[in-house]
Amino acid sequence: MLSSLTPHLPVLQVVVPLMAAPLCTLIGNRHLAWTIAFITALAAFVVSALLLGSVLDGSVISYHLGGWAPPWGIEYRIDAANAFVLFIVSLIGVLVLPYARQSIEHEFEASTHTYFYTCYLLCLTGLLGVAATGDAFNVFVFLEISSLATYALVAFGARRDKRALTAAYNYLIMGTIGATFFVIGIGFLYMVTGTLNMADLAVRLAEVGDTRVTRVAFVFILVGMGLKLAMFPLHLWLPNAYNYAPSAVTAFLAATATKVALYVLLRFTFTVFQFDFPVQELTFEYVVMPLALVAMFAASIAAVFQQDVKRLLAYSSIAQVGYMLLGVALLSEAGLTAGIIHLFNHAVTKGALFLAVGCFVYQIGSSRLGDLKGIGKTMPWTTAAFVAGGLSLIGVPLTVGFISKWYLIQASLQTGSLWIAGLIVASSLIAVVYVWRIVEVAYLEPAPEGRANKEAPLAMILPTYALVAASLYFGINSELTSSAASQAATALYSATDLASEGAAQ
């Protein structure tokens, strides 16, 4: 029976969470709803692992929705690049759920928990759908499914702090503008090509050539996705949304949402536009690269001055998005590989860090630096996990952060820009400062009188340590991530003009 399901794996990935989401609300019992959500997330993870396993050799799975052949029907097209993204998203999705069950008990009333799981599954559906689909308009639909669920998830934090509501509202305004820009871009592409299938678009855009419409379409898509992935200076929604959302939501979003948006940008840049157009090269060289470099410094420096650990990590996320974009903007296969590796590594690292902060919030009810004095003595395990994540953020050897920076610096040296490599190292040093601020408060300051030596519950510690272990494991044995990332980069890159240029040189 299972083998008959195998050809349908690409769509099951998306349909199962979509079906399970309303079920959580209808059932009305939060324990049952959690069980359904967990089984669903686990199923999505197994499917994505199977998919990743079957495309790592460079093959492509094409699934025709409803039996309609592309380009007329919607096609789900799985190659190494999106299988890798699917794997990351579903991995985080399954790890955060047991954690969320504990942490939301503290954060809002039990009667709303079933809604929480519904939103969570819808968000997961949307993110997986965006990654799996090969249809440009389908990307928009799934993007909005995940975004709408995300706005609601952020607003769940209103029980703890009412500022979550305004954060969610601003995120909604910015996110909708971003998504609408994206649709305008797709509309222009449809005008000149008459197709929405990405593979078909690529062929026809090459025929259309470099016209003003294609240039405008590209820029609209870049800005739209830039808003969604918090590209500096379009990041304004991010610090508040991450800060006031419930802990589990912050960890889930930080590790997945921006990464999926980045994937869409890569997919359009390299697969759909194929890098045929001079405007793309110019945009990446003279707009994206400088902005990425500014993000690395400005956001890191802003992180140093934050008083709240969650907010500090949010600013650091913006800086890390800068590293990913920098890798891409180097416009070489090595750079793209570095960007994709960092996408995975940062998902693991930031996931672990936000989960650890969530443990603090669970025990002491705050994530402000002033309240975390001496936390290293009262919650040694959580703090140790946090420090491990922090080291990875800096890029200390034996952590995934080191692997990312290693690839990134190598890629920038390859293109002959020594100064970029220097800037990467310099901005990592700022990361040392903001991580040290937390370490200093946690270990060197005395704990306030009367705080019990009590760890967060095991259901929260274990997922945190799972991600910390992943960040250490993939930091020592980077074979799986680097081969998957380079395979993904090849899949994205091989179709482009740049690759043939490179081969000719």
Partner 1 sequence: MWDEMTAEFFVGHYNYWMTVVLMMIGLYVVVSRGNLVKKIVGLNLFQTSVFMLYISMAKILGGTAPILTDNPDEVYSNPLPHVLILTAIVVGVATTALGLALIIRIRESFDTIEEDEIFEIEQQMAKNATSSVGDR
Choose the binding region for partner 1 from 122-130, 145-153, 341-349, 439-447 (rule: CB under 8 A).
Answer: 145-153
108 counts as binding partner 1 under rule CB under 8 A: no
Nearer to partner 1, 10 or 126 (CB): 126
Which residue reads 């290293």 in tokens? Answer: 376
Evaluated on CA atoms 230, 173, 122, 101, the torsion sign reads positive
Q: Nearest distance from residue 339's CB to partner 1, in Å?
A: 29
Q: What track of x and - describes contact with partner 1 for positions 433 through 472 (by CB under 8 A)? A: ---------------x------------------------
Return the range that interacts with partner 1 (CB under 8 A); candidates 62-70, 166-174, 292-300, 313-321: 166-174
Residue 183 makes contact with partner 1 by CB under 8 A? yes
- b/e map 315-336, b = 16+ CB within 10 Å: bbbbbbbbbbbbbbbbbbbbbb
Residue 216 interacting with partner 1 (CB under 8 A) = no
Q: Which of 27, 43, 50, 165 binds partner 1 (CB under 8 A)?
A: 165
The Cα–Cα gap between 226 and 499 comes to: 25
Which residues have CB under 8 Å from 478's CB, separation 6+?
341, 400, 403
Between 199 and 355, CB nearer to partner 1:
199
Give the DSSP letter of residue 210. S
Binding mask 364-383 for partner 1 (x = CB under 8 A): ----x-xx------------
- Residue nearer to partner 1 on the CB measure, 165 or 432: 165
Q: Which of 45, 140, 273, 344 binds partner 1 (CB under 8 A)?
A: 140
From 143-151, 259-267, 354-362, 413-421, give the range in contact with partner 1 by CB under 8 A.
143-151
Q: Which stretch binds partner 1 (CB under 8 A): 94-102, 171-179, 332-340, 385-393?
A: 171-179
For 86, 242, 301, 343, 475, the CA distances from 318, given in Å and listed in that order, are 22, 11, 11, 12, 22
Residue number, 75 or 144, with CB nearest to partner 1: 144
CA 166/CA 250 separation, integer angstroms = 16
Judged by CB under 8 A, which of 100, 155, 347, 460 binds partner 1? Answer: 155
Among residues 177, 213, 294, 480, the one that binds partner 1 under rule CB under 8 A: 177
Site stretch for partner 1 (CB under 8 A), options 165-173, 289-297, 420-428, 457-465: 165-173
**Cα(441)–Cα(444) distance, integer angstroms:** 6
Nearer to partner 1, 158 or 403 (CB): 158
Residue number with CB closer to partner 1 (188 or 402):
188
Member of 6, 166, 211, 483 binding partner 1 (CB under 8 A):
166
Judged by CB under 8 A, which stretch of 58-66, 151-159, 344-352, 476-484 contacts partner 1?
A: 151-159
Interface with partner 1 (CB under 8 A), residue from 84, 151, 263, 474: 151
What amino acid is encoded at 255 in this protein?
A: A
CA-to-CA separations, 151 to 172, 173, 193, 503, in angstroms, rounded: 6, 10, 34, 45
125: nearest Cα among 146, 147, 98, 100: 146
Pairing status of strand 75-78 against strand 61-64? antiparallel
Which of 14, 47, 148, 379 is in the footprint of partner 1 by CB under 8 A?
Answer: 148
Binding mask 396-425 for partner 1 (x = CB under 8 A): ------------------------------
- Structure tokens that stand for 111 in this block: 């009667």
Minimum Å gap between C-beta 50 and partner 1 is 30
CB 235 → partner 1: shortest distance, Å? 17
Distance CA 254, CA 261 (A): 12
CB atoms within 10 A of CB 199: 18
For residue 184, state whether it binds partner 1 (rule: CB under 8 A).
Answer: yes
Among 216, 217, 213, 238, smallest CA distance to 227 is for 238
Of residues 176, 410, 414, 415, which one binds partner 1 by CB under 8 A? Answer: 176
> What is the spatial distance between Cα 277 and Cα 497, in angstroms, rounded to a whole number?
9
58 CB burial (10 A radius; 0-12, 13-18, 19+): exposed
Q: Taking CB under 8 A as the rule, does residue 121 contact partner 1?
A: no
Site for partner 1 in 306-325 (CB under 8 A): 307
The residue (of 169 and 473) whose beta carbon lies closer to partner 1 is 169
Q: What distances in angstroms separate CA 96 from CA 39, 99, 324, one per listed residue?
A: 13, 5, 23
The mark string for 331-370 relative to partner 1 (x by CB under 8 A, - otherwise) is: -------------------------------------x-x
Residue-wise DSSP of 270-324: IIISTT--HHHHHHIIIIIHHHHHHHHHHHHHHHHT-SBHHHHHHHHHHHHHHHH
Q: Which residue is listed with tokens 């050539």?
A: 209
Tell me how crowded residue 127 is: count the other CB atoms within 10 A of its CB: 34
Residues that bind partner 1 (CB under 8 A): 137, 140-141, 144, 148, 151-152, 155, 158, 162-163, 165-166, 168-169, 172-173, 176-177, 179-180, 183-184, 187, 190-191, 196, 307, 368, 370-371, 448
